Structure 1
Amino acid sequence: MSQAAIVTYKHIARVRQLLGEFAVEMIKRGDVHDASKFNPIEMGPLEEMQKVVDTEGQAPFGSEEYKRRTDMLGPMIEHHRANNSHHPEFYADGVAGMDLFDVVEMFFDWKAASERGEESAMNLNFACDKYKVDGALRGILFNTASRLGYTTK
């Protein structure tokens, strides 16, 4: 085997290892995603909000009603965002303070939030505008949604 082939195999093995480590970290994050919601500080208001949802239905992600309901959660939502690094509010400088793990979890959190209502599209424009995500990162998020077959607006 040539030296070039040996070096290439080593490189491929290392990238495989690093991607595996990344995947393991994402699985760990998925296992504890939003676990703070089971803290009484968060669960009480969430139970009250569920009564609103049961009575009035879901509010589409990013809608005025969604914003109103989020505001109704007050201290609960502040506690939640302060204890979960996939929320831009966790960092003083918002999305700019995040790492790639945070951004990936945030993206899928947005996707899951968009599926709660009756909307079929992920409101990525709303989320990016809200958190001042622009330029390359905004493009990457839209490209990822497209690659995964998600409808966006």
Structure 2
Amino acid sequence: MSDSAPVTLKHIARVGELLDMMATELSRRGVVHDASKFDPIEKGPLDEMQRLVDKEGPAPYGTEEYRRRTALLGPMLEHHYAHNSHHPEHYGSRGIAGMDLFDLIEMWADWKAASERGAESAMNLSYSIEKHGIPPMLADVLRNTADRLGWAVK
């Protein structure tokens, strides 16, 4: 009589190993996330931006004021995008399509954390979807993930 249990247990163990590999990569990314912001090329402009935020308050993501302030960062952002693959801009014209799952997950966590800095805690997902040309199926996956995690989105 054949017993499928050993094959099933081996499969379960292997999936666990692969998920652990992925979790390790995600944890590594959490440790080094945005480390380039401490490079003088980035830190100086970010310090200036923080002074503006301290003086005028935060600009909600996606607003005209947000876009104006982002434009003030210019070369700093170019450096940041070049050194951080979790930004679609890192991949030039390919954008999101150039990313792997790890980039995408780190981007997702970055968007959530950034949304918590301002007065609104809801992620402006609609703006990001439009800004980055995220295809409908991936947009649905992102919305479904937010729902699963209980994250507010707009």
Q: Same fold (TM over 0.5)?
A: yes
Q: Which residue of 2 aligns with 1:62?
A: 62
**1:36-56 deviations in whole A, cap 9, x for unaligned?**
000000000000001100000
Give the drift of 1:120.
2.4
Question: What value does the CA root-mean-square deviation take over the aligned residues?
Answer: 1.1
- Give the counterpart letter for 2:37 in structure 1: K
Q: How does 1:2-151 map to 2 (within 5 A)?
A: 3-92=3-92, 93-151=94-152
Question: Quick check: 1:60–1:116 contact (8 Å CA) kept in 2?
Answer: no
Give the drift of 1:2.
5.1
Identify unmatched segments of 5+ residues in structure 2. Answer: none
**1:93-144 deviations in whole A, cap 9, x for unaligned?**
1000000000000011111111111012110111111000022111110000
TM-score, structure 1 length as denominator? Answer: 0.97
Q: Secondary structure at the match of 1:52?
A: helix
- Give the counterpart letter for 1:111 in structure 2: K
Cα distance between partner residues in 2 of 1:44 and 1:130: 26
Percent identity at matched positions?
Answer: 63
Question: Quick check: 1:88–1:95 contact (8 Å CA) kept in 2?
Answer: yes
TM-score, structure 2 length as denominator? Answer: 0.96
**1:76-101 deviations in whole A, cap 9, x for unaligned?**
01110111000001113100000000
Deviation beyond 6 Å, 4+ runs, structure 1: none
